[in-house]
Amino acid sequence: MVEKFEHTNLAECVRRHVGRPAATIELEPISTGKFNTGYFVTSDGDELVLRVAPPADSVFLFYERDMMRQEPGIHRLLLEETDVPVAEIIAYDDSHDVIDRDFILMRRLPGTPLSQAPVADAEPVMRRVGECLAQTHSLTADRYGYLGEHRPMEPADNWVDAFAVMWRKLLDDIVGVGHYSTAERDDLVGLLDRHIELFDRPGPARLLHMDVWAQNILVDDAGRLTGLVDWDRALWGDPEIEFAVLDYCGISTPAFWRGYGRPRDESQEARIRNVFYLLYELQKYIVIREGRGHDSRAARGYKQQAQKIIHRAFDK
């Protein structure tokens, strides 16, 4: 998302949390942001990142509204319990005293997004990403769903109930932008209901990143992983839903799985769950393309992709 803010206001956002004169603060827009508006910040030798949330009247997926609120706690947990490379967060500010947005200020991690880096051999990076996600998934909770401070749903006592709520809320969002009728929404609710017993699996809720793709993987000049960024979409649940995102984003390589160090369930039941998890990932772009991009053609394309997946998997 590309937006323009007054330099003096952005500098004041930084100044109030680092105590440096605004005149010493330099800002450079980050070109890769898709949701927040980001800036690289330099001040007296410090290198930081400032991320500004979208306006409150944006069209959001149900879990996107105020999701920046959960990042400080997630970063703190990862820094305390793992060696996953995440940034130290200096401040999260929702006062709206300087600008009418929430914003977050954090240390800048070294490296360049993998999407922009000419890495000759990506296998070591992917193996390390696998190791980092294995550590992430080792962090557990006793409730399921989006548990962060943004509270887009009531936490559930089990994954079955959590995913059923998430599925319905996503479909409601698509109805809201005009790309599913109420009847289509009800058909897809019924489709999950017919397979819901497959989601009743033992195990605690595990921390999931849910947005690992080349842009959110930072690497240095030697091709080593230096950061996993953008944890604002994180949820607590079944790692198989994370695997579907990794499949969709091209991260599920053999090197990744060597790093992850645990075999993937390849049963027929897991494959059916994967269809629903893939649809959960894919269908969000209907809302994003229509609601924020105002691109009805692209939104219809994602709907058609979802319908093809459903037809192949269930219409036999």
- The mean per-residue pLDDT over the stretch 163-186 comes to 98
Residue 10 has a pLDDT of 93
pLDDT of residue 1: 47
| CB contact at 8 A, 40 and 28 | yes
Find which of 26-35, 111-120, 176-185, 216-225 is predicted with most confidence, using mean pLDDT: 176-185
Q: Which of 89, 109, 129 is the last residue of a domain?
A: 109
Tell me, yes or no, whether 70 and 42 share the same domain.
yes
Q: What CA–CA distance (Å, rounded) separates 230 from 64?
A: 12
Mean pLDDT of all residues in 207-213: 97
Query: Which pTM was predicted?
Result: 0.94
* Residue 105: inside a domain: yes
Model confidence over 247-301: pLDDT tens digits? 999 999 999 999 999 999 999 999 999 999 999 999 999 999 999 999 999 999 9
Residues 93 and 131 in one domain: no
Would 140 be classed as within a structural domain?
Answer: yes
**Pair (100, 199) in one structural domain:** no
Structural domain includes residue 283? yes
The CATH number linked to 60 is 3.30.200.20
> Does residue 242 share a domain with residue 135?
yes
Per DSSP, the residues of the chain read ------HHHHHHHHHHHH---GGGEEEEE-TT-SSSEEEEEEETTEEEEEEEPPPTTS---TTTTTGGGGHHHHHHHHHHH-----PPEEEEE---SSSSS-EEEEEPPSSEEGGGS--S--HHHHHHHHHHHHHHHT-EESSBB--STT--S--BSSHHHHHHHHHHHHHHHHHHTTSS-HHHHHHHHHHHHHHGGGG---S-EEEE----SGGGEEE-TTS-EEEE---TT-EEE-HHHHHHHHHHTT---HHHHHHH-SPPP-SHHHHHHHHHHHHHHHHHHHHIIIIIT--HHHHHHHHHHHHHHHHHHH--
Q: Quote the CA–CA distance of 33 and 130 in Å, as a whole number.
A: 24
pLDDT at 22 over 80: no
Tell me: do 209 and 310 sit in the same domain: yes
Mean pLDDT for the stretch of residues 42-71: 94
**Which stretch of 42-46, 128-132, 165-169 has the lowest confidence by average pLDDT?**
42-46
pLDDT at 121 over 50: yes
Take residue 19 and report the two structure tokens written for it.
């105590």
Same structural domain for residues 82 and 202? no
What are the tens digits of pLDDT across the range 227-242?
999 999 999 999 999 9
**3-12, pLDDT tens digit by residue?**
678 888 999 9
> What is the span of the domain harbouring residue 235?
114-314
233: tokens are: 């979409």
- For 44-73, b/e burial (b = at least 16 CB within 10 A) is eeeebbbbbbbeeeebbbbbbbbbbbbbbb
| Confidence tier at 176 by pLDDT (50, 70, 90) | very high
Of the residues 54, 85, 109, which one is the last residue of a structural domain?
A: 109
Considering the chain, what percentage of its residues have pLDDT values greater than 90?
87
pLDDT at 2 over 80: no
Whether the Cβ atoms of residue 244 and residue 176 lie closer than 8 Å to each other: no
| Cβ-Cβ contacts under 8 Å for 193 (sequence gap 6 or more) | 164
Q: Is residue 147 part of a domain?
A: yes
In the chain, the number of structural domains is: 2
Average pLDDT of the chain to the nearest whole number: 94
Both 146 and 278 in a single domain? yes
Residues above pLDDT 70, as percent of the chain: 98
Cα–Cα dist 166/93, whole Å = 28
In a domain, 2, yes or no: no
Q: Give which of 202, 145, 150 is closest to 169, Cα–Cα.
A: 145
Q: Which residue has the higher pLDDT, 118 or 96?
A: 96
Q: Are residues 285 and 145 in the same domain?
A: yes
In a domain, 92, yes or no: yes
Q: Which residue has the tokens 């949701």?
A: 35
One domain, residues 170 and 250:
yes
Determine contact, residues 284/314, Cβ cutoff 8 Å: no
pLDDT at 145 over 90: yes
CB 102 within 8 A of CB 92: yes
Torsion of CA 287, 273, 133, 171, to 10 degrees: 20
* 98 and 147, same domain (yes or no): no
The answer to whether residues 306 and 283 touch, using CB atoms and an 8 Å cutoff, is: yes
174: CATH: 3.90.1200.10
80 and 130, same domain (yes or no) = no
- Nearest Cα neighbor of 103 from 47, 152, 55, 45 is 55
Domain stop point among 109, 139, 159: 109
How many whole angstroms separate alpha carbon 191 and alpha carbon 174?
16
| Statement: residue 181 has pLDDT above 50 | yes
Q: How far apart are CA 234 and CA 151, in angstroms?
A: 12
Q: Are 179 and 299 in contact (CB under 8 A)?
A: yes
118 and 60 share one domain: no
